[in-house]
Structure 1
Amino acid sequence: MSQNRLLQGIDWTVIILGLILLIFGIMNVYSVDSERGIKQIIWFTLGLGMILGLVVISGNNRNFFETYSPIIYAISVFLLVGVLIFGKEINGAKAWYSFGPVSLQPAEFAKIGTSLLLANFINNPSSNLRSIPFLAKLAIVVIIPISLILLQPDLGSVIVFCSLSIPLYREGFQPWVILSPIVVLIIFLISIVQIPFYVLLFFGFILLVIVLLILVFTYNKEIEDACHGVLIGLFIFFLLLIGTAAILGNFDEETRLSFGHLFPNNALFFKEATFFNTLLYGSVGAVISIIPVVIMKVSYEKDTSSSPFKLQSGVAANIMTVSVISSIVVLLFTSIISFISPIVFEKLPKHQKERVMVLYEGEAKYRDTSGYNLLYSKTAIGSGELLGKGYNQGTIKKGRFVPEQWTDYIFCTVGEEWGFVGSVALVIVYALFVGRLFYIAEKQKNRFARFYGYCVASILFFHYFINIAMVMGLFPTVGIPLPFFSYGGSSLWGFTILIGIFLIINYKQNQSLI
């Protein structure tokens, strides 16, 4: 085989952009801690060795990773189980294996195994995205590692698993697949500081307004029937809220306040005003929801030739029934999330709760605990101004004001020493890198390769977006490393192998098309 043919299929754009990020990342880690900067080079060299090993093992087998994806997934799950037994606890999380000076975090490799197995199932000729058993199978694949990671607990890795909704959406899943994790996260973050009754009323009215606007501007009969079904679901939802508030409101004050320890951040939860407001606004919502349905029913009964409404056909009745059931299920699920969020939040370790509360109350209140890192991180970024203080010249960095700055908070080093220009340049390179991965994934002829490519790009996007937002105080601190920047063998190996497998798959496919 000629040398030119051997080189065909290698995506040099991804490799060059990746090396730029890696070199810049090592430079910044070295600036913070020279010893760790040298170790980072060693970790990456070992990671490259792992990739070369995968190249040799996979050989000429185009379907190697698809064939062995169940084994890779099983190994990753086994490692997650083992870390709960034999792992080392760091910062309240039992998420690392410790081998002398080396620590290994299996959650990083679980993302690879889960992505490969999902791609395997999606590529199966018998896969049916509308089949409940098939969807249940996909759900189980994702829920197993998520559950094990929650037991550690490691909320950051769990959030990254939500990125898998993007490739699922690309393969034909409904938009709610990609929106659901986002909505659940929003409900969780709001419900821990607001009264769940008010949160549910808010979301109910938001949905009510959206449905009414659609009804006003649509002329599609099927959409109208679906909207009327959702309105019936909202009517039932508001009635359930009213009923729940009425039942709790009838408890004596001592009984109601005895539940207060479950909702310490919502001191007004069991006050009489809460139940009165829920009864009032819930009744308003119920009335507004049912009026269009009543008007529709009256119009149907008239069935005049001049009426824009006609008698419901079997298809229309079926659409309405499905939308009623679906809306009720979604709203009840939302209610469960809202009510249990404060309880789950109280079970989290103190430092994790404080990290979330910093988002609402500011880092100054927690400057001696969980807000300390964020306070000085923002100070460091702001002090860099336009062009930065210069490489290895960061005064806040030299003062060690940000503990373990070489890990999740490495971006503040970029802001301080390279300034606004350097920070923006880094964000642009990351965007080009992730965008290129999405582009290559879309070009794949094989569904397995395309889905896995989307998983790779989505995971990297979540990591870099959330990490930068976290360091700037726009997202709670959840312990998500910045790809190719944050110090650590596990994360660097995980990202290297994640991308390396995709490049190997892409290379083999391009070679086979020659």
Structure 2
Amino acid sequence: MSQNRLLQGIDWMVLILGLIIVTFGIMNVYSVNQDLGVKQMIWFGLGMVMILALIIASGNNRNFFEIYSPVFYIISVLLLVGVLLVGKEINGAKAWYRFGPLSLQPAEFAKIGTALLIANFLNHSNANLKDISFIGKILLIIGIPVALILLQPDLGSVIIFCSLSIALYREGLNPWIIITPIIGLIVFLISIVQIPFYVLLVFGFIVLVIVLLMLAFNYTKDVIDAMHGILVGLSIYFLLLIVVCYFVENLSEETRESFGHLFPMRSLFFSEPIFFNTVFFGLIGFVISMIPIIVLKLTEQKEINNSPFKTQSGLAANMLNLSIIVSIVLLLVTSIISFISPIIFEKLPKHQKERVMVLYEGEAKYRDTSGYNLLYAKTAIGSGELYGKGYNQGTIKKGRFVPEQQTDYIFTTVGEEWGFLGSTFLVLIYAVFVGRLFYLAEIQKNRFARFYGYCVASILFFHFFINIAMVIGLFPTVGIPLPFFSYGGSSLWGFTILIGIFLIIHYKNSQGFI
């Protein structure tokens, strides 16, 4: 085989960008702690040995990783079970194996095994993401490692598993299955600090505006019937909101006091203005919902009268009824989430509640507890200004003001020592790196490779985005490392193997191996 033939299928852009990120990461870890910087180089070298072992093991078999995906998954699950039994607890989470000076976090490898097994399932000819039973099997594959990780507990790793939804959407998963939990989470977070009645009113009006826009600019019969059903659901939703508010307003003083203990963050929960505003705007929402319903009903009746069949088609009636049922269920679930969110929030441990409240009230109020890391992280990044203080010259870094600066908060070192320009350079490199992985995933010729490639790119994107957002105060503090950058053998090995497997698959597909 010629040399050119051997090099075909090697994606040099991913390799070069990855090497730049790793090198830059080691430099910054070394700046924080020289011993850890040297260890990080050793971890990366061992990671390359692991990739070489995978290349040798897979040989000329293009389907090696698909065939053995159940083995990868079972091993990763067993490691998660084992860590709950014999693992070492660090920072309140029993998530690590300890072998002398070496620590291993199995959650990093569970992402790989899960992505490979789902890719295997999807590559079968009978795979259908429109089938509820098949979706249930996929959720079971994801749910087993997620449940084991929650028992540690390690919320950061659980959040990363949500990135698999991007790859599932690419393969045909209904977007509402993904959007609905996101809406629920947003409502939950907002209802923590806002009055539920107001949250639900705003939510109802947002849905109403979207429906009216859809009716104004879309004339497809199916869409009109679906929007008609949602409007019926919205009208019922606004009426129920008024009824609930009236019920709450007429509670006895003793009952109000008992409910008040559940809602300590909203002393005005039962005040007169809230009752008036809810009823007033609820009636407005109800009237606005009813007007297009009446217009659509009259138009529909006119069409029926002009038709020789004198009746509505069964298909249209089914679409309307289904839309009504689905919209009512979703709106009621949203309402329940909004009302119980403060109750759930109050049951959380103090440090977890503070991590969320830092986003609303600022880190200064919690500077001695959960806001401490964020306060000094922002200070370090801001102190770097445009050009930075210079490599190994960070004063805040040297003062050790930011805990765990070599791991989850490594980006603060970049901001302080390399400034805005250095931080921008790193973000752009990551953006091109992840974008290239998405491109490679899209051009794969079989579903297994494409799905796994999307999983790789999505996992890296979630890690990158959430870590940066966490450090600059746009996301609650969770244990999510910056890919190929934060110190840690487990995370570095995990990312190296994750991408290494995809590049091996891409190479074999390009070479046309059997």
TM range (shorter): over 0.9
Partner of 1:122: 122
- Residues 144-183 of structure 1 aligned to structure 2 (within 5 Å): 144-183=144-183
Query: Would the alpha carbon gap of residues 218 and 492 (structure 1) be closer, same or farther in structure 2, given more than 3 Å must change?
Result: same
> Partner amino acid for 1:360?
Y
Does 2:439 match 1:439? yes
Q: 1:405 to 1:235 in 2, by over 3 A?
A: same
Q: 1:322 to 1:399 in 2, by over 3 A?
A: same
Pairwise CA distance, 1:233: 1.6
Query: Could you say which residue in structure 1 is the equivalent of 2:90?
Result: 90
- The letter of the residue matching 2:451 is F
Letter in 2 for 1:121: F
Distance 2:86 2:280 in 1: 54
Q: Measure how far apart 1:77 and its partner are.
A: 2.4
- Give 1:105's aligned residue: 105
| Bigger Cα displacement from structure 2, 359-368 vs 344-353 | 344-353
**What's 1:132 paired with?**
132
Give the share of equivalent positions with the same residue, in percent.
73
Partner residue in 2 for 1:452: 452
The alpha carbon displacement at 1:303 in A equals 4.0
Contact in 1 for aligned 2:130/2:172 (Cα 8 Å): no
Q: Render the CA deviation track for 1:404-441: whole Å, top value 9, x for unaligned.
A: 21111110100111111111110110011001101110
> For residue 219 of structure 1, what is the amino acid of its counterpart?
Y
Deviation at 1:342, TM superposition (A): 2.7
- Structure 2 match to 1:466: 466
Deviation at 1:399, TM superposition (A): 1.0
Tell me the residue number matched to 2:291: 291
Is 1:31 aligned to residue 31 of structure 2? yes
Distance 2:49 2:229 in 1: 58
Aligned equivalents of 2:238 and 2:141: distance in 1?
Answer: 35
- Give a deviation string over 1:442-496, Cα, whole Å, max 9, x none: 1100101001100100110111111111111122212211111111111111111
Shift of 1:311: 5.9
User: What letter is aligned with 2:416?
Assistant: E
Aligned-partner Cα distance in 2 for 1:89–1:250 = 50
Q: Which runs of 5+ in 1 are unaligned?
A: none
SS at match of 1:365: helix
Deviates more, 1:13-22 or 1:127-136: 127-136
Distance in 2 between the 1:324 and 1:304 partners? 21
Question: Does the C-alpha gap of structure 1 residues 340 and 414 become closer, same or farther in structure 2, counting only changes over 3 Å?
Answer: same
Gaps of 5+ in 2: none
Which is further off, 363-372 or 167-176? 167-176
Q: 2:48 — aligned with what?
A: 48
Please say which of residues 75-84 and 355-364 is displaced more in the overlay.
Answer: 75-84
- Range moving further from structure 2, 34-43 or 18-27: 34-43
Partner Cα separation in structure 1 for residue 278 and residue 175 of structure 2: 31
The alpha carbon displacement at 1:145 in A equals 2.5
Structure 1 position 376, deviation (Å): 1.1
Choose 195-204 or 379-388, whichever is displaced more.
195-204
Tell me the alpha carbon deviations over residues 62-116 of structure 1, each in whole angstroms, 9 at most, x when there is no partner.
1122122223222222333333333333333332233332222222222112211
Q: Which residue pairs with 1:75 in the alignment?
A: 75
Q: Report the Cα distance in structure 1 between the residues aligned to 2:77 and 2:497, rounded to whole angstroms.
A: 17
CA distance in 1 between counterparts of 2:320 and 2:507 reads 49
Quote the residue 1:228 is aligned against: 228
Give the corresponding residue for 2:264.
264
What is the CA–CA distance in structure 1 between the aligned matches of 2:304 and 2:397, rounded to whole Å? Answer: 77
Deviation at 1:281, TM superposition (A): 3.1
**After the TM superposition, which residues 479-494 of structure 1 pair with which residues of structure 2 at under 5 Å, given as runs?**
479-494=479-494
What residue is the counterpart of 1:212 in the other structure?
212
Identify the residue that residue 343 of structure 2 maps to in structure 1: 343
The corresponding residue for 1:361 is 361
Distance 1:96 1:60, change over 3 A: same
More deviation, 137-146/493-502: 137-146
Contact 2:130 2:174 in 1 (8 A): no
Secondary structure of 2:365's match? coil
Change (3 A) 1:260 1:491: farther
Cα deviation for residue 285 of structure 1 reads: 2.2
**Pair 1:5–1:432, CA change in 2 (3 A):** same
2:98 match: secondary structure: strand
Using the size of structure 1 for normalisation, the TM-score is: 0.93
Aligned residue type for 2:329: V
Please list, as runs of the form range in 1=range in 2, the aligned pairs for 1:301-380 lying within 5 A after superposition: 301-303=301-303, 312-380=312-380
Specify whether residues 103 and 242 from structure 1 end up closer, same or farther in structure 2 by C-alpha distance, changes over 3 A only.
farther
Instruction: Give the aligned residue type for 2:235.
Output: F
Cα distance change, pair 153–242 in 1 and its aligned pair in 2 (3 A)? farther
Deviates more, 1:495-504 or 1:283-292: 283-292
Q: Distance in 2 between matches of 1:271 and 1:147?
A: 41
Residue type of the alignment partner of 1:42: I
Aligned residues: 512
Quick check: 2:169–2:175 contact (8 Å CA) kept in 1? yes
User: TM-score of the superposition, structure 2-length normalised?
Assistant: 0.93
Alignment correspondent of 1:423? 423
1:56-67 to structure 2, matched below 5 A, reads 56-67=56-67
Measured at CA, do residues 499 and 263 of structure 1 come closer, stay the same or move farther in structure 2, by a change above 3 Å?
farther
Distance of 1:380 and 1:242 partners within structure 2 = 49
Contact 1:257 1:270 in 2 (8 A): no
Aligned to 1:406: 406
Contact 1:44-1:492 at 8 Å conserved across structures? yes
In 1, are the aligned partners of 2:187 and 2:338 still within 8 Å (CA)? Answer: yes
Within 2, Cα distance between the matches of 1:222 and 1:142? 34
The residue identity in structure 2 corresponding to 1:301 is Q
SS of equivalent to 1:98? strand
Aligned-partner residue type, residue 135 of structure 2: L
Aligned CA RMSD, in angstroms, stands at: 2.3
Describe the shift of the 1:2–1:423 C-alpha distance in structure 2 as closer, same or farther (beyond 3 A): same
8 Å Cα contact 2:28-2:414 kept in structure 1: yes
Shift of 1:270: 5.1
For structure 1, which segment, 235-244 or 30-39, has the greater mean C-alpha deviation from structure 2 after superposition? 235-244
SS at match of 2:391: coil
Please tell me the residue identity of whatever aligns with 1:240: L
Q: 3-state DSSP class of the match of 1:335?
A: helix
Query: Aligned residue for 1:15?
Result: 15
Question: 2:394 is aligned with what amino acid?
Answer: G
Partner Cα separation in structure 1 for residue 211 and residue 363 of structure 2: 39
